[in-house]
């Protein structure tokens, strides 16, 4: 529970304004789409994410409790899937977008004629560029308290951060193929797990407060791939 120790240490050090970053994994596996902040704790979490999700939920509730008990201004934002320069491209423990960038790059490098992606390719996911996330985080911190309280509730104070648009994993793979100039076949492996069928955040609360994402997915993937190429050593970077 590192975040809880950090939040408590911040309070003890006299920090009166703090931003806690969570994850869209806090919402139930079968939450109505798009997932509004009000979906929190309404149903069962996705099993493989449960420990991580519970930790993030604990952080939200700790911030809310400190706000009520001590009058501090601790806010929480829940980002969707993030990507961009500086991401983890490790072949065994990276997330879907950097993993695809590396795999397609290596396929082009090695002259492969086909790539097999995990699962059916039908699950839909939302992706937000890290620069948009940084901008949104600063925006949320600068919201006047009156406006923040108008759009939130004392026991439901977190704010979703996303772009409001999702794509299927197959669509994402096709986009990465386009960016990396892979012209072979893209196959699926339905024997591998798909995870939740869809994870799209309802970002209307943040939009009403005045912020929306500006970096499109193709633009973001291209800039991320450019960064990846600049960091390669002997063909690729290990992480």
- The CA distance from 127 to 216, in Å, is 9
Q: Would you say 169 and 103 are in contact if contact means Cβ atoms under 8 Å apart?
A: no
Looking at the domain that runs over 2-231, which CATH code has it been given?
A: 3.40.50.720
Q: Which residue in the block uniquely carries the two structure tokens 């450019």?
A: 226
Residue extents of the structural domains in the chain? 2-231
Residue 71 is encoded by which pair of tokens? 């009058």
- The CA distance from 96 to 194, in Å, is 12
Element (H, E) at 67: helix 50-70
12: three-class secondary structure by DSSP? helix
Q: Which residue in the block uniquely carries the two structure tokens 């999702």?
A: 166
Which pLDDT tens digits describe the chain residue by residue (239 residues)?
788 899 999 999 999 999 999 999 999 999 999 999 999 999 999 888 899 999 999 999 999 999 999 999 999 999 999 999 999 998 778 899 999 999 999 999 999 999 999 999 999 999 999 999 999 999 999 999 999 999 999 999 999 999 999 999 999 999 999 999 999 999 999 999 888 889 999 999 999 999 999 999 999 999 999 999 998 644 444 44
The set of catalytic residues is 52
């Amino acid at each position: 529970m590192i975040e809880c120790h950090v939040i408590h240490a911040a309070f003890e050090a006299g920090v009166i304004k703090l931003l806690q970053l969570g994850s869209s994994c806090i919402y139930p596996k079968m939450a109505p789409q798009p997932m509004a902040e009000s979906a929190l704790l309404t149903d069962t979490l996705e099993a493989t994410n449960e420990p991580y999700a519970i930790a993030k939920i604990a952080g939200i509730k700790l911030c809310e409790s400190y706000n009520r008990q001590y009058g501090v201004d601790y806010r929480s934002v829940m980002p969707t899937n993030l990507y961009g320069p500086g991401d983890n491209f490790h072949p065994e423990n990276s997330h879907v977008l950097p993993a695809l960038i590396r795999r397609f790059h290596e396929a082009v490098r090695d002259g492969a004629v086909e790539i097999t992606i995990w699962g059916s390719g039908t699950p839909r996911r939302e992706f937000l560029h890290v620069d948009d996330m940084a901008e949104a985080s600063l925006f949320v911190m600068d919201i006047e308290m009156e406006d923040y309280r108008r759009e939130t509730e004392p026991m439901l104070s977190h704010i979703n951060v996303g772009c409001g648009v999702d794509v299927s994993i197959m669509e994402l793979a096709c986009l990465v193929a386009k960016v990396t100039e892979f012209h072979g076949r893209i196959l699926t492996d339905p024997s591998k797990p798909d995870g939740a069928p869809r994870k799209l955040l309802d970002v209307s609360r943040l939009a009403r407060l005045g912020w929306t994402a500006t970096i499109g997915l193709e633009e973001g993937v291209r800039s991320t791939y450019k960064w990846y190429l600049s960091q390669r050593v002997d063909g690729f970077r290990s992480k």
